[in-house]
Amino acid sequence: MLRGKVAVVTGSTGGTGLRIACKLAAAGADLAINGIGDTTEAEILRQQLSDTYGVHVAFSPADASEPYGAVRLISDVTRLLGRVDILVNNAGMQPNTTVCELPVEQWHSTIAINLTAVFLTTRAVLPQMFERNWGRIINVASGYGLVATANGAAYVASTHGVVGLTKCVALATATTGITCNAICPAGLLFASNVRKPFEVFAAPDPFDLAESGTILPDEGRTPLELPGGWLGDLVKFLCSEAAAHLNGVALPVDGGWPSRQARFP
């Protein structure tokens, strides 16, 4: 479905981002993984992904939360793979702190990674998408981009910002073949290091493995648990022509969590 396209997934050397990357590669897209960490391990992962899915895979260690890093990420991938058609902004952090207890430094780092990086990578990639009149930008926000919690000041603020930025980019691209949408998943439980052993990716569909992820019960308030493949499949759908008229949407993927009956004291 995505043969001939090039996809960049930030924060994709492990966890959710790696699973999204695998889904896009399985659909035929050439791929760029991105993450800050051991470059030797990342190179091994890059080669394993290429061998497993039969696509070209590049790796960039650029820090997208810094202006130069975001430009470097897009320019690295364009140089190595020729273009960028799909940008999935997945990298993020989730401090669990109230307003009064939140250190200023943690506020700034959360906003930088969760929100500023989305702005910077989007700004860097849009010119070439405009040239080709086609592109897909998918921002992995959070269910807390739509609601709030007392213990997540920086996280809630940053993910609300991602949803707002998504709508602004959608309006700026509304008359083109470019779309920009956000995914707002509920809490996720993922293995801390899914690339060891790599055999999980040699399975017919690594997303169907039991350990690939599930909606947390959230104290029993989530009516439905979703299978492990849901997030990658949704990203793949948003990249397809079937989703060409979905633009500026913040999709709640939460198993019905916000639909629970409110519980008052």
Cα 47 to Cα 40, 58, 98, 227: the distances in Å are 11, 9, 42, 28
| CB-CB contact of 155 with 95 (8 Å) | yes
Give CA–CA dist 138/161, Å, rounded. Answer: 14
User: Quick one: three-class SS letters along the chain?
Assistant: CCCCCEEEECCCCCHHHHHHHHHHHHCCCEEEEECCCCHHHHHHHHHHHHHHHCCCEEEECCCCCCHHHHHHHHHHHHHHHCCCCEEEECCCCCCCCCCCCCCHHHHHHHHHHHHHHHHHHHHHHHHHHHHHCCEEEEEECCHHHCCCCCCCHHHHHHHHHHHHHHHHHHHHCCCCCEEEEEEEECCEECCCCCCCCHHHHCCCCHHHCHHHCEECCCCCCCCCCCCCCHHHHHHHHHHCHHHCCCCCCEEEECCCHHHCCCCCC
Q: Which residues are catalytic?
A: 155
Calculate the alpha carbon distances from 46 to 20, 37, 195, 222, 233 in Å.
14, 13, 11, 36, 21
